[in-house]
Amino acid sequence: MCAEEHYYDDGLEDATRHEAVVPMVPVVQLYAADAPGVPFPQGSDLLQVLWCPFNHGEEPAERCPLPQVHWRNTADVRQVLLAPPEPADAPEGHVPTPCVVHPEQVTEYPDWDDIPQELRNEIDDRVRRLEEASGWDYFYHLSTAPGTKVGGHPRGWNGSTTWFSCERCGQPSHHLLTVTHAEFDGESWRTWLPVEDRPDDDSGPKIYLSESERAAAAESPHGLMVSGGGDVYLFECRSCPDRPIEHLFFLN
């Protein structure tokens, strides 16, 4: 349950304080066997992420749901909650539609701003030639994977993320999870839309999301639209024993 101060708003100045204690809602449940690249804490094989669906934070532009991360051992789970409670008046787009997770491991590279300047100078010409030859853009098609994902590199905001560090120990914080409203957009779908969700007539850039029912369904299967279309990022410190979490919100 969440008893902290939260608001019913979409990042607006005239936010309304929501006084009630509300249940946390499940956002992501992932088993270690389905995510071989994720460093689970010793003794755990289940990652559960919940959040309070009402917005939290002092600054309107930074308000988003308040997440909680739980690492668990499935052997210790004695009771399965088949019908988790949902706040009746939660903001639209803040409670995910129940869906099955089909994890897929992909290779990605950091955003351009997160690459050291010396390396950028070295590969700049190669990237430019590749873009000219293939029509693929580094950000949209070759670097960080869009969509909701565990691990890898964060995507979507301006500026570097390499400076994030734990407030307790000062060690670097690592990207744990991104929750976003869309798995791809009108450009990045060319490399990130799964093959099985592509239109039968996949004939090039003219095929857009709305032109295919399969592609449109794959764009946002969870139905989330946080504060009008923002992304929630979770970072964790793997140096502290309890792996504290910090979350950030970025409005696209």
Whether 104 and 36 have beta carbons less than 8 Å apart is answered as no
pLDDT confidence band for 160 (50 / 70 / 90): low
Q: Is the pLDDT of residue 206 over 80?
A: no
Q: Is the pLDDT of residue 184 over 50?
A: yes
Output the pTM of the full model: 0.88
Q: Is the pLDDT of residue 181 over 70?
A: yes
Q: 1-17, pLDDT tens digit by residue?
A: 898 888 877 555 567 77
Q: 50-61, pLDDT tens digit by residue?
A: 999 999 887 777
Q: 208-232, pLDDT tens digit by residue?
A: 555 677 777 888 889 999 988 889 9
Percent of the chain with pLDDT over 70: 89
**pLDDT (average), residues 194-215:** 66
Instruction: Residue 51: name the closest of 84, 14, 74 by CA.
Output: 84
| Cα 77–chain centre separation | 26
Whether 235 and 173 have beta carbons less than 8 Å apart is answered as yes
Rounded Cα distance between 19 and 229, Å, is 25
